[in-house]
Amino acid sequence: METALPNRQSIRMKGWDYTTPGWYFVTICVQDMRPVFGTVVNGKMVLNKIGQLVQEMWLAVEKFHPEYHLDEFVVMPNHVHGLARLEGRRDGMPVRSGAAGLPDFVRRFKSTADVAWRKVAVQGGHDGPPVQEGAGRCASPHSGRCASPHAGPDTMRNGKLWHRNYWDVIVRDEQALANIRNYIRCNPQNYDRVMNVGAPRMLGNAALLALPKVGFLASRGVAERAGPTTCPREPGAAIISGFLSPMERAVFTEGLARRAPLIWVKPWGLDDGVLSAPVRQAIDEDRLLIVSPFADDIEAPSLRRAAWCNQYVLAHCDRLIVGHLNPGGMLSCILSEAGPELEITYL
């Protein structure tokens, strides 16, 4: 995994041989996160002509790379998720060595899909269903940018369909594989929930949303890594997080203590759990904003609600700091959909 990297300039795992057999989770994003492949309707992806061609191109790559076995995949409005296994053998017979490995696989897919996209765009083949009005027009639940769903080559920066880079996760074990498969299958449903959950309710100082915002996200499981140096220290900026995992809670506690501006994106009801003296004092002093779209009778977080909070943080932060990251976990999958231009720093 890329947890040791300091930024988003390179997301390949240093020292890893990408011709190594095994499972790889790949996310490839459209340039500028424009929704050119269709839209999500009632939790299901409805592909336009370009989206259908991109789906066909994904499946066609296996013909050129028989050393790869394609598993779960989905074409979303502005990105593609796919699981692929690099095999040493196919049907009991050796297959050619993956000379260039995963990068060559992705390059082949991007180039063939790009040719198909240009042909359709020139022919005026943007015949997909209209994107829903309002939030549905946004390029991504993780991006503040919005755009026309029928963007063609003339509206893409440098006339490119794909962002130059891509995100990959090396799948380490069966549990991570199951998590990622489930994430891909449920991606249209989760996208729909995020886009249509409704305007969140707020408690505290809403003016904090106008400040520069540093997001902080961390997977569960490494409480001992959380400490005073974990908390971002940027004068004039607010820290935004779900403050749910041990590292996130440590940041919240320290932020309250040093009177930092905080935006708490809660994965349960707005009022529950806000009666402690430090929290109430921070609200009274306009140092805290609590955001939640969930009903007051919801008293505990769930995986879906935690995912919504992480996605809200991605959509509203100006840059992101990631603490502990479980390979193949929910946060790792969600990060794959962050806008490619978002600055991400890994601790």
Residue 58 pLDDT greater than 50, yes or no: yes
Bridge partners of 44, per DSSP, are 41
* Nearest-5° Cα angle at 224, 223 to 229: 100
pLDDT of amino acid 90: 53
- SS3 assignment, position 331: helix
pLDDT of amino acid 138: 38
Mean pLDDT of the chain: 78
Distance separating alpha carbons of residues 107 and 168, to the nearest angstrom: 13
Q: Give the 3-state secondary structure percentages of the chain, helix then strand then coil, rounded to 5.
A: 35, 25, 40
pLDDT of amino acid 18: 84
Average pLDDT on 277-281 reads 91
pLDDT of amino acid 269: 81
Nearest to 143 by CA among 34, 248, 49, 62: 34
Please report how many Cα atoms fall inside a 13 Å half-sphere around the Cα of residue 174, on the Cβ side: 0
Catalogue the E-assigned strands of 42-152: 44-47, 68-75, 79-86, 89-90, 93-94, 138-140, 143-146
- Phi and psi torsions of 133, nearest 5°: -70, 160
pLDDT of amino acid 12: 59
The 10s digit of each residue's pLDDT in 100-146 is 578 888 888 998 888 878 877 666 544 433 333 333 333 344 443 33
Q: How far is CA 346 from CA 131, 168, 224, 321, 323, in A?
A: 35, 16, 17, 6, 6
Q: Which range, of 4-8, 259-263, 276-280, averages the lowest pLDDT?
A: 4-8
Average pLDDT on 190-200 reads 72
Catalogue the E-assigned strands of 142-251: 143-146, 167-171, 201-204, 213-217, 238-241
Distance separating alpha carbons of residues 222 and 217, to the nearest angstrom: 13
Distance separating alpha carbons of residues 325 and 315, to the nearest angstrom: 19
Q: Is the separation of the CB atoms in 338 and 165 below 8 Å?
A: no
Distance separating alpha carbons of residues 224 and 205, to the nearest angstrom: 32
pLDDT band per the 50, 70, 90 thresholds, residue 6 = very low
Nearest to 39 by CA among 129, 110, 119, 118: 129
For the question of whether the overall pTM of this predicted structure is more than 0.85, the answer is: no
Average pLDDT on 281-298 reads 89
- Structural domains of the chain ordered from first start: 22-196 (3.30.70.1290), 201-346 (3.40.50.450)
pLDDT of amino acid 37: 92
- SS3 assignment, position 28: strand
For tokens 């991006």, the residue is 143
Q: Is the separation of the CB atoms in 161 and 70 below 8 Å?
A: no
Residue 151 pLDDT greater than 80, yes or no: no
The amino acid at 235: P
Distance separating alpha carbons of residues 168 and 346, to the nearest angstrom: 16
pLDDT of amino acid 123: 66
